[in-house]
Amino acid sequence: MKKIYMDNAATSFPKANGVADAMCKYINEIGTNISRGAYDDAFEAQRVIEETREMICDLFHFNKSSNVIFTKNITESMNIIIKGLLKPNDHVIISPMEHNAIMRPLNSLSQKNITYDKAECDKNGNLIIESIEPLIKQNTVAIIMTHASNVSGTILDLESVGKIAKKHNLFFIIDSAQTAGFKDIDINKLNADSIAFTGHKSLLGPQGTGGFIITDNLANKIPALIEGGTGSKSDSEQQPTYLPDKFESGTPNTVGLFGLNAALKYLKEKGINNIQKIEMDRTMQFIEAILEIPQIRIVGNTTRENRTAVVSLDFSPLDNAEISWKLQQSHAIATRVGMHCAPSAHKTLDTFPQGTLRFSFSSFTTEEEINLVIQAIKQIINA
Ligand SMILES: Cc1ncc(COP(=O)(O)O)c(C=O)c1O
């Protein structure tokens, strides 16, 4: 049976054309460290990484490639930013749709008397903008928010949030896990101070790549979480204060960044707007077919606007986990079931504690695959 992969919100598969070749080329033909050797292959590795920084700038309409920091993923990026920025007695505002990449670092900081409040979302996960300003206190320093829910696919109106952050002089930090590579993101329109990104989802790159872009103003407020060798200023035993070296100690994931470089070239060639259109065509094909089946609840918006290609379903009183298992066993359809690392989102969407069965598409998903999945769902629930 041919595998049908419907778990692109967790990590995309397949990856962009060219990713595997670029990684093989690095391993087989280059293989050197960056910033640490004065020979051609070391220069080539460095060139590819700097080119990747430039492409990340293009992706987010950002203008300073030195302020593109590479990390393993959004989780690491958020830990650097959240734990570096927040001091005892600080307060931040988040949404109720956050992933544990934000919730867990924030909750661990409660020991230092760092607090947060959640703005409100409606039952579909749409952010209620008017709920934000009343939460601002004298000690509020930042708004930290996901751009789209990994549970319901709902896109949060971050342009409006950015205006509020600017008006009140708050730092605005964005988790782009579910939107980078899916929709055009302009840091200027969002008024953001930092956007954290991960390479292995809609950017179609390998696992272990990601990072954040950051303004000088915010970077200056954040000490390095990890310190060590940077291949620069090696006569000094102090961590450099300039970017990106301040936040990039130790040997980077060069092979992964070669893969990310190829993925970003692929996205540029195809065009993110074209990719988004294909993904939304598949998403609406799926949603429209599911709406015909009365036993199933679609969790989140059912129209094309303000959503990504992530669709969560709730089959209650049937067991979502059992349906996921049957889809895999009988039809080789890979889905994800449960909390998706976002329990607060489920409380908002009224799917706690049963969780949801999540289907997430990519531009490689075909119409035929969607039809097969719909047939399989009908077969399982009518059995
Ligand atoms: C909304 C959201 N934020 C953060 C993350 C964490 O991403 P990573 O595991 O790449 O750090 C995810 C991953 O599922 C996510 O969906």
pLDDT tens per residue, range 125-173 = 999 999 999 999 999 999 999 999 999 999 999 999 999 999 999 999 9
Residues 6+ apart with CB under 8 A from 10: 201, 336, 360
Verify whether ligand 1 is closer than 6 Å to residue 7 (CB atom).
no
pLDDT digits over 22-64, tens only? 999 999 999 888 876 677 777 889 999 999 999 999 999 999 9
- Tell me the backbone φ, ψ of residue 143, rounded to 5 degrees: -115, 125
Whole-number pLDDT of residue 215 = 98
How many angstroms separate the most distant Cα atoms in the chain? 71
- In the chain the first and final C-alpha atoms are separated, in Å, by 20
Calculate mean pLDDT across residues 241-259: 97
Q: Which residue's alpha carbon is nearest to atom 16 within ligand 1?
A: 150
Q: pLDDT tier at 327 (50, 70, 90 boundaries)?
A: very high
Whole-number pLDDT of residue 36 = 65
Task: Please give the residue that has the higher pLDDT: either 371 or 234.
Answer: 371
Q: State both tokens at 253.
A: 């994931």
Residues 6+ apart with CB under 8 A from 248: 69, 70, 230
pTM passes above 0.95? yes
Helix, coil or strand: residue 231 = coil
CA distance 351 to 343: 9
Whole-number pLDDT of residue 167 = 98
- Tell me the backbone φ, ψ of residue 115, rounded to 5 degrees: -120, 165
CA of 176 from ligand 1 middle (Å) equals 8
CA of 75 from ligand 1 middle (Å) equals 7
Calculate mean pLDDT across residues 320-344: 95
Q: State both tokens at 138.
A: 């004298």
CA of 138 from ligand 1 middle (Å) equals 30
Whole-number pLDDT of residue 34 = 82
Q: pLDDT tier at 225 (50, 70, 90 boundaries)?
A: very high
- Tell me the backbone φ, ψ of residue 73, rounded to 5 degrees: -175, -175
Q: Which residue's alpha carbon is nearest to atom 7 within ligand 1?
A: 74
CA of 36 from ligand 1 middle (Å) equals 32
Which is nearest to 284 in space by CA: 219, 194, 169, 365? 365
% of the chain at pLDDT higher than 70: 99
Residues 6+ apart with CB under 8 A from 203: 12, 180, 181, 197, 260, 263, 264, 267
Which is nearest to 2 in space by CA: 364, 334, 357, 363? 334
Atom of ligand 1 minimally distant from the CA of 76: 11
Verify whether ligand 1 is closer than 6 Å to residue 296 (CB atom).
no
Calculate mean pLDDT across residues 334-352: 93
pLDDT digits over 307-316, tens only? 999 999 999 9
What's the chain's average pLDDT? 96
Calculate mean pLDDT across residues 233-243: 93
Whole-number pLDDT of residue 166 = 98
Residue-wise burial string across 209-227, b where 16 or more C-beta atoms lie within 10 A, e elsewhere: bbbbbbbeebbebbebeee
Verify whether ligand 1 is closer than 6 Å to residue 178 (CB atom).
yes
Calculate mean pLDDT across residues 191-199: 98
Which string of DSSP letters, residue by residue, matches 29-89? Answer: II-PPSSS--SHHHHHHHHHHHHHHHHHHHHHT---GGGEEEESSHHHHHHHHHHHH--TT
Whole-number pLDDT of residue 174 = 98
CA of 342 from ligand 1 middle (Å) equals 10
